[in-house]
Structure 1
């Protein structure tokens, strides 16, 4: 499967498909987030979050199946459609953003599969917040590549 993945920069007309990927991913992995909070976050994706990020999308057979959004050296968000989880899409997206200089990220502590995914790829926990960036009660782990230069700014993010 992973050989069929095409990565490219996102375009504005990709935003609706990006939101669909996000929704599929969070429906499968974010059982710890209230439905009301998910709706609030979803409403803000296009107007508030996506335009401020450098976005890379992954497609298979012309279907957008994953994306990664970065801000400088920080991975702000990465999601893979539930139908494509475990098939190499996330690994390819992460490899791309790492080659572009990403060294840090935040991940929901209550999403152990994602925490382990990043740990297995050289990230280590360097901090923890009891709430997300909007003050919601979802603990966040700040992670940094263990081989990253210590001169980078402290992690923060979505």
Structure 2
């Protein structure tokens, strides 16, 4: 996909199952530290709660199908997921830059085990400002709190 062809727009509630599919494919490709039961635990939370709690924007392919998305709440980036079939094409960077410029993002929490994501955010100007031993659900996945410097 060419960057010139990319469009970022709002995601409608009737598209949440597609967003969940992108989330799951992305998580399976990048979060190898998660157990199968963790993915099963988070799926209904993502679909029934988390997507409603954020301002969602998506990147669509030429057919109009969502291939990546970002979710923001206040100045926090709550989600940024790119379908593995289009990873490495700069879509995540474009979405992050959009979130910073258009949604006022200055903070993000990242799983400490997700070294690719940490490197990505550091490359984009984020610095670690804190750490939590448990994730927001109380699961033993340490979280790095990062902020745009």
**2:10 is matched with which residue?**
9
Structure 2 CA distance for aligned equivalents of residues 9 and 105 of structure 1: 21
Shift of 1:6: 1.1
Structure 2 CA distance for aligned equivalents of residues 13 and 89 of structure 1: 23
Shift of 1:46: 1.5
Aligned-residue CA RMSD in angstroms? Answer: 0.8
Within the candidate set 99, 108, 113, 2:111 is matched to: 108
Give the 3-state SS of the residue equivalent to 2:21 in structure 1.
helix
Structure 1 CA distance for aligned equivalents of residues 145 and 87 of structure 2: 23
Within the candidate set 121, 126, 129, 2:129 is matched to: 126
**2:27 is matched with which residue?**
26
Give the 3-state SS of the residue equivalent to 1:135 in structure 2.
coil
Within the candidate set 74, 79, 82, 1:80 is matched to: 82
Within the candidate set 139, 142, 146, 1:143 is matched to: 146
Structure 2 CA distance for aligned equivalents of residues 127 and 14 of structure 1: 34
In structure 1, stretches of 5+ residues that fail to align are 147-158
Shift of 1:3: 2.2
Give the 5 Å matches for 1:61-80: 61=62, 62-80=64-82
TM-score by length of 1: 0.90
Alignment length (residue pairs): 146
TM-score by length of 2: 0.95
Structure 2 CA distance for aligned equivalents of residues 89 and 59 of structure 1: 10
Give the 5 Å matches for 1:39-78: 39-61=40-62, 62-78=64-80
Give the 3-state SS of the residue equivalent to 1:68 in structure 2.
strand
